[in-house]
Amino acid sequence: MAERGTAVFGGGCFWCTEAVFGQLRGVVSVMPGYAGGKEENPSYEQVATGRTGHAEVEGEISRIT
């Protein structure tokens, strides 16, 4: 089995990028979330206020060739 790694991409609305990455050959899994910021485990509503300092990202993209 090929070695797997993790890539994190910042792309604005993660719902849109999740759909695109999920269709790419070689991608094993996609997990959207937030990076940075000062709140631990923020909700979408908290991040949407723009006051938490988080950015929406795609993480855990397990394999892309």
- Name which of 39, 28, 32 is nearest 11 in CA terms: 32
Q: Any residues with CB less than 8 A from the CB of 11 and at least 6 apart, and which?
A: 17, 56, 57, 58
- Residues designated as active site: 13
